[in-house]
Amino acid sequence: MLNQRRVALLRFLLAPGDRVNTVATLAARLGVSERLIRYDLAEIGDWVRRKGAQVRHDPRSGICIDGDCERVLADLESVMRSDKPPAEYILTPAERHNWIMTLLLEQGDPVPIGTLADQLGVSRGTIYSDLHAVAERLGQYGLQLTKRPKRGVCVSGPETGIREALVALALERIGMDQLVLLIAQCEQTDRWELEPYDLPPGPCFRAALRALRAVEDYSGLGLTDVWFAEAVLHLAFAVHRVRQGKHAEFPGLPATDAPEWRTARLLVEQVEALSGTSMPASEVAPLAELIQKAGRRVCAAGRELPHSPDAVYLARRFAAVAESLLAVDLAGDSDFISGLALHLQPIPHRLAQSPPIVNPLLEQIREMYPELFAAARQAAAVLEEAWGLPVPEAEVGYLTMHLGAALERRRLARPRRHRVVAVCSSGVGTARLLASRLQAALPEVELVAVTSLLSLGETLRTCECDLVVATCPVPEIATPVVQVSPLLFAGDLRAIRDALAPEGYVHSFQRRGYPPMLSDVLTEQLIRLGVEAADWEAAVRAAGRVLVDNGAVEPRYVDAMVEGVRRVGPYIVVAPGVALPHARPEDGVRRLAISMVQLRDPVAFGHETNDPVSLVFALAAVDVDSHLKALSQLSSIISNPEHVARLGSAQDVAEVLKVVFPNTAGKEEGACGS
């Protein structure tokens, strides 16, 4: 027997690609145990054998399906598109609820309990239990489940709610990606085979699609593919329901000439002409609301459609808070601000007027980007304050995707070339050999000077560099030094890369199987207690000085942190009494580190609710994401007022380490191993 998980497993095995599927990779993809995957593979094997195929375990290619895969896939899709629950498929409770809900919404008349039980192949008791869940879901759309004595159950409530529910159920059945693909195929082939997907009839769907396309071309309405597809679905259901005599209720049309209402009126006129269905004036209002909350896309020419100044302002506030939490430049990312503003514009209307937002990727987002999700959740507070509405987790998931996209763009951006000074005291020939080998073997290096040991001091005073590569011993200087052979053997190159790129420091943790943890980057050498500071700038500089003294950053990084506070403002005060200043990796970071400064007397940073500050954690990040795990661990500590109070009153470093690393005995010794 098939079920929802086994169907997902089958589709994954039937999908083209050169990946090697193992029990472990399949379990990870579906988020279940390996034991359950083995059991599912046995059940799938029985099913595919009846279709002329078999599940095969190949040592090289992994788990795959051998035989007539096209027939297997066609039979699978046939099962899933059936207009009634298939006998060879076990419905999950959620699938039963959706099937019952769809039937009741479309039927209109009461349906006997026995009929539901017979069609679903379950007991009447199971149906009664299911109806409780159905009633709760219907309530999200302002609908009620009504029991008619001796007749069964039916749905009552406003027509607009029924349509919203029908659209949501249709989207769950087909999936947004498949709907967009179906629309593209319909437009290209002029074939409207919609019955397998349980969508509105072909003539209604075709009229809705062509009307929306015509209005979009005429008015310049630029909907994203997702919103265009959903609008087609809304409009198609509207035509279908009007043909059945079900009209949208609206107490009275407002006398408005807003763009959304003009577009909605034009849509009604177009679909009326294309479908031959007389559409009442009350159909304008729900379409206007849909257009108002819809997301807009970038025009074909690359010019973005205009968005409201309020949305841009909120996007910048959100970016400032998220930047302070993640230590990643977001406020200066114009692509991020613009895209987020377009996304934010329709949200308050959607939250106030619509059923709960559904995000099918929410669980995957939370699993893949836990630190970004936590930051988005906190930064969403500025949106809730502005809108006077709670932001649900489904929407936080979408905000997380914007953050993830911004980090990906920064990760893919070409890094700055590292500046190196080569030192050789044994002659011009050796110096030239070293220089040529450096440039040939390390294209990421910019050789800014080749000098002798005696001239090194003057060279460093006249040019900035990240590393000194020398063929001879060099006295202790502020700039990192790597001593190498003029021939630059493989070990020399590894040493240069590890010293040059802070990523090498990060990779050392990754080679051990985990990203840098808080215990790796906040060591006892980076903690200072009872520090005096006259104001916020002195406090930031004190925390930055600790990083400089420990070789984690160059002195210019401290200036950059101060400028960052002036630019971002008091958002860096991320919790009551706690500030988290930082700057960009290119501002002089040598390795990933976090310093902690406990102030003798708290100082004000200008934050409305979190001042005064008694703890300053200065972060030196080497890239956009290697610090996120450690930062997440720090955030969980400083979000606890009791922990903050203990850190603020700690009398020695050992006491601090007990608060920061409560589950690690003897942390004073282990904390030094950075």
| Strands, sheet with 467-470, edge to edge from the N-terminal-most edge strand | 445-451, 418-423, 467-470, 481-483
Where does 369-492 show beta strands of DSSP type E?
418-423, 445-451, 467-470, 481-483
Residue 351, phi then psi, degrees to nearest 5: -70, -35
The DSSP bridge partners found for residue 597 are 528, 616
**What tokens were used for 411?**
């990760």
Maximal C-alpha separation, the chain: 105
- Residue 654's SS3 state is helix
Task: Tell me if residue 507 is catalytic.
Answer: no
Helix, strand and coil percent figures for the chain, each rounded to 5: 55, 10, 30
- Residue 532's SS3 state is coil
Question: What is the DSSP code (8-state) at residue 226?
Answer: H
- Residue type at 88? E
Where does 501-644 show beta strands of DSSP type E?
527-531, 578-579, 593-603, 613-620
Report whether 93 contacts 77 (CB < 8 A).
no
CB burial class (10 A; 0-12, 13-18, 19+) of residue 27? Answer: middle
Catalytic residue among 582, 607, 627, 643: 582
- Rg for the chain, CA atoms, rounded: 31
Question: What is the DSSP code (8-state) at residue 200?
Answer: S
Tally of residues, the chain: 674
Only one residue has tokens 């095969």, namely 56
The DSSP bridge partners found for residue 447 are 420
CB atoms closer than 10 angstroms to residue 191: 9
Describe the crossing of helices 628-638 and 641-649 by its angle, rounded to 10 degrees.
90
Distance CA 294, CA 287 (A): 10
- Residue type at 327? A
CA proximity to 239, closest of 210, 214, 218:
210
Active site residues: 582
